[in-house]
């Protein structure tokens, strides 16, 4: 407690009298400092000067620090003084005696030495009432100052939560519009007489510097809470994705995923700024962020999730391989939402008719987006709006397909009315083309086909986007998806066979055209199934999910899945294999686990039954499955926040400030609900950054 670095960290002035007296009684630190030496040269001769510990006895105020290997003045470390003797330390042995003489004769040193010797000599039980009254007045003023600061902090949090700019274009008092933050402060001042009285005397608390310092403290307190959660978690994974901001500045979002009370949580940590787009630069940037947190416990990082870009997912020199060299159990997971997009893109790009269908389909919402007059007719006849023309990244035009399928007849009427009432030839031409399209048999065929396929794509999309999803649930969703696509495939096959059986010479040409379309539809279904099988294949570390598919428990009870278990243990060799086998055998033999579906419900059941120690290894494996991310969607959500916060009007925003504002938005529930005494912790941090003109720290009269 009495080491120099500890005293500087604790802030001696903020300690209670009892703590100060305890430090005094422990005495000054007197390390040997054998490493403290200076080498000087005179001509060809070298002189080595070593620190002599006898100086400790000669100068009773002198002390040392082993961490910085330097000398300090113990009273000045406690009470503050000459920077070289109270903060940075003295290492110059050549001029040491001169520096000692100069320091011990200085006014500040003598004053600090006197204060240090008098520390604890006053009988606190005899403190007069005047001193106690002064302490009481001081604490009342501190309470008032902290109350005002908390109101300002709440205004900062409000702007952050709602992604509003803290600064206005012109914040001068004479300005008619000082910005959202100052407008909020003025509103609060009108409602709160104490706040109004404070701002009549001073506006320092709303300055740019104060706002930035409050944001720094908000970020620091939130990150400390996240660090505490990570330290208390057995496993953790990272999610990283890249984007560019409004000025095309390349940056990555880092998300930590871990388990709390059996449920996965994903916490935004901040934006990283790689120097390059190559694997080496990205790896260095990621490791720079995660090493201070996880380097001491490399086995804790069990997964890393990125998109499918080659620089991230490369099997030989990608970022995932380089990170795994340092964190051996950090297995790569390709975001399943990206995988789904690639599956649909691959399946719909192989056939010319399908490509033409989606190209024509996109023209319908585009036609209405360019004119309010057309939208008015759309509202009048169809009574619904079509999705925006921007192609959805994940669900691949699902909404457009469904809307056009459900309202095709009314859309035809809508086009007919636009042709009748419009006087513009361009509009009439476009409406006529879309009218013919909506009546075209080929377009109707593909619209009907994808109306059957897209709901299942949408279900899988929503499943992989969920934060609480785990590999077992994903695997079940993928199996269901493939089964439903196969059903559609079988229905199309049956209809083709019926056409062949009932074919006659009169209808041969028409039926051949339909058979050609249905053959193409079968190809689409086949491609979706093949790509889903290839991209959603559960191998290596994801094989563990197969151990917890409840419909297979009876089979596993009779024929234990040793191959699956061996693959799992090979990926995670820290398991006690014999115990894990026996625990799983007991697990499969019990009827109470048969109807429990999904990893999270199993964890909750084991926890509620106090069986964590009974199924110790199984419980550990379940936690790994919960923590393993199947999608990088949380990073995508932070990018949406980034685009709302950092606009062309706020392009010069600093990195820490951007992180803090994004944290306020993305982790608003954590900040407002989960962190106990969040405002108090922020204000405490704010107080110790530097000396303040207002008092924010309470005094103890004892």
The residues facing 254 across adjacent strands are: 240, 270
Among 524, 491, 467, 520, CA closest to 348:
524
Cβ atoms of 63 and 4 closer than 8 Å: yes
Among 634, 673, 682, 639, CA closest to 658:
639
pLDDT tens for residues 544-563? 999 999 899 999 999 999 99
**N residues, the chain:** 702
Q: Specify burial of residue 238 (Cβ count, 10 A radius: 0-12, 13-18, 19+).
A: buried
- Give the residue, 564 or 121, on which the prediction is more confident: 564
d(CA 464, CA 344): 15
The residues facing 265 across adjacent strands are: 258
Which pair of tokens denotes residue 27? 């005495």
- What is 483-499 written as a DSSP string? HHHHHHHHHHHHHHHHH
pLDDT, position 497: 57
d(CA 159, CA 198): 21
User: Over 90: is that where the pLDDT of 627 sits?
Assistant: yes
Backbone angles phi, psi at 86, to 5 degrees: -115, -20
Give the pLDDT mean for 197-204. 72
pLDDT tens for residues 646-683? 764 455 566 778 888 889 998 999 999 999 999 999 99
d(CA 506, CA 511): 10
Instruction: Indicate the SS3 state at residue 521.
Output: helix
Among 526, 485, 541, CA closest to 303:
541
d(CA 372, CA 628): 47
Question: What angle in degrees, to the nearest 10, is found between the helix axes of 129-161 and 193-201?
Answer: 100
User: Over 70: is that where the pLDDT of 188 sits?
Assistant: yes
User: Over 60: is that where the pLDDT of 394 sits?
Assistant: no
User: Over 70: is that where the pLDDT of 390 sits?
Assistant: no
How, if at all, do strands 236-244 and 301-306 pair?
A: parallel
pLDDT, position 537: 77
Q: DSSP label at 90?
A: B
How, if at all, do strands 250-260 and 331-334 pair?
A: unpaired
User: Over 60: is that where the pLDDT of 511 sits?
Assistant: no
pLDDT, position 648: 45
Query: What percent of the chain lies above the pLDDT cut of 90?
Result: 42
Half-sphere exposure of 523 (CA within 13 A, CB side): 15
Which pair of tokens denotes residue 171? 């914040």
pLDDT tens for residues 226-247? 999 999 999 999 999 887 765 6
Cβ atoms of 159 and 166 closer than 8 Å: yes
DSSP element (H, E) containing 431 = helix 425-439
Q: Specify burial of residue 580 (Cβ count, 10 A radius: 0-12, 13-18, 19+).
A: buried
Instruction: Indicate the SS3 state at residue 464.
Output: helix
Which pair of tokens denotes residue 319? 């970022």
Among 469, 625, 460, CA closest to 529:
460
Under the banding of pLDDT at 50, 70 and 90, the label for residue 623 is: very high
Which pair of tokens denotes residue 222? 């939130």
Q: DSSP label at 271?
A: E
Under the banding of pLDDT at 50, 70 and 90, the label for residue 464 is: confident
Q: Which of 195-199, 216-220, 477-481 has the highest mean pLDDT?
A: 216-220
Lowest mean per-residue pLDDT among 42-56, 149-163, 258-272, 578-592:
42-56
Taking the alpha carbons at both ends of the chain, their separation in whole angstroms is 21
Q: In whole angstroms, how large is the CA radius of gyration of the chain?
A: 35
d(CA 124, CA 455): 76
pLDDT, position 19: 86
């Amino acid at each position: 407690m009495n080491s120099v670095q500890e005293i500087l960290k604790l802030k001696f002035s903020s300690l209670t009298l009892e703590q100060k007296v305890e430090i005094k009684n422990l005495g000054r630190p007197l390390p040997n400092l054998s490493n403290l030496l200076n080498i000087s040269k005179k001509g060809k001769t070298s002189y080595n000067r070593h620190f002599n510990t006898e100086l400790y006895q000669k100068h009773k105020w002198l002390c040392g620090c082993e961490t910085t290997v330097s000398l300090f003045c113990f009273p000045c470390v406690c009470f503050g003084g000459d920077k070289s003797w109270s903060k940075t330390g003295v290492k110059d042995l050549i001029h040491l005696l001169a520096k000692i003489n100069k320091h011990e004769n200085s006014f500040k040193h003598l004053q600090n030495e006197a204060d240090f010797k008098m520390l604890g000599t006053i009988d606190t039980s005899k403190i007069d009432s005047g001193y106690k009254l002064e302490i009481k007045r001081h604490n009342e003023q501190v309470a008032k100052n902290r109350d005002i600061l908390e109101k300002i902090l709440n205004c900062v949090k409000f702007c952050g939560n709602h992604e509003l700019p803290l600064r206005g274009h012109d914040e001068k008092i004479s300005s008619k519009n000082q910005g959202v933050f100052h407008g909020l402060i003025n509103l609060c001042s009108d409602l709160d007489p104490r706040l109004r009285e404070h701002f009549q005397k001073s506006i320092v608390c709303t300055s740019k510097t104060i706002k930035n310092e409050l944001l720094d403290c908000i970020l620091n307190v939130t990150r400390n809470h996240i660090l505490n959660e990570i330290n208390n978690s057995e496993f953790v994974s990272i999610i990283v994705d890249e984007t560019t901001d409004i000025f095309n500045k390349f940056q990555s979002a880092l998300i930590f995923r871990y388990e709390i009370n059996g449920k996965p949580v994903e916490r935004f940590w901040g934006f990283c700024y790689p120097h390059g787009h190559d694997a080496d630069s990205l790896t260095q940037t990621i490791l720079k962020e995660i090493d201070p947190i996880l380097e001491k416990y490399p086995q804790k990082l069990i997964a890393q999730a990125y998109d499918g870009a080659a620089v991230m997912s490369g099997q030989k020199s990608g970022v995932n391989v380089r990170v795994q060299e340092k964190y051996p159990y950090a297995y790569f997971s390709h975001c399943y939402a990206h995988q789904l997009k690639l599956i649909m893109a691959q399946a719909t790009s192989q056939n010319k008719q399908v490509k033409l269908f989606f190209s024509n389909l996109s023209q319908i919402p585009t036609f209405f987006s360019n004119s309010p007059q057309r939208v008015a007719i759309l509202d009048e006849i169809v009574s619904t709006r079509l999705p925006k023309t921007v192609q959805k990244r994940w669900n691949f035009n699902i909404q457009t397909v469904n809307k056009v399928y459900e309202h095709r007849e009314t859309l035809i009427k809508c086009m007919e009315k636009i042709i009748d009432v419009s006087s513009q030839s361009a509009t009439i031409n476009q409406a006529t083309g879309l009218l013919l399209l909506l009546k075209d048999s080929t377009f109707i065929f593909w619209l009907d086909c994808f109306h059957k396929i897209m709901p299942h794509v949408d279900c899988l999309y929503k499943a992989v986007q969920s934060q609480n999803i785990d590999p077992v649930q994903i695997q079940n969703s993928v199996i269901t998806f493939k089964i439903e696509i196969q059903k559609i495939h079988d229905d199309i096959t049956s209809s083709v066979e019926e056409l062949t059986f009932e074919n006659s010479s009169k209808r041969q040409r028409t039926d051949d055209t339909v058979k050609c379309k249905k053959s193409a539809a079968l190809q689409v279904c086949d491609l979706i199934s093949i790509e889903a099988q290839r991209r959603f294949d559960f191998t290596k570390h994801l094989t563990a999910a197969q151990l917890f598919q409840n419909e297979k428990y009876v089979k596993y009870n009779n024929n234990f899945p040793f191959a699956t278990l061996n693959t799992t243990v090979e990926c995670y060799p820290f398991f006690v294999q014999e115990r894990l086998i026996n625990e799983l055998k007991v697990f499969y033999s019990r009827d109470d686990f048969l109807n429990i579906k999904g990893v999270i419900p199993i964890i909750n059941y084991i926890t509620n039954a106090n069986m964590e120690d009974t199924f110790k290894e199984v419980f550990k494996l379940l936690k790994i499955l919960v923590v393993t991310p199947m999608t990088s969607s949380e990073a995508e959500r932070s990018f949406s926040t980034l685009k709302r916060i950092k606009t062309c009007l706020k392009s010069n925003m600093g990195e820490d400030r951007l992180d803090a504002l994004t944290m306020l938005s993305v982790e608003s529930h954590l900040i407002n609900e989960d962190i106990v005494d969040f405002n108090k912790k922020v204000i405490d941090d704010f107080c110790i950054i530097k000396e303040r003109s207002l008092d924010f720290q309470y005094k103890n009269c004892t």
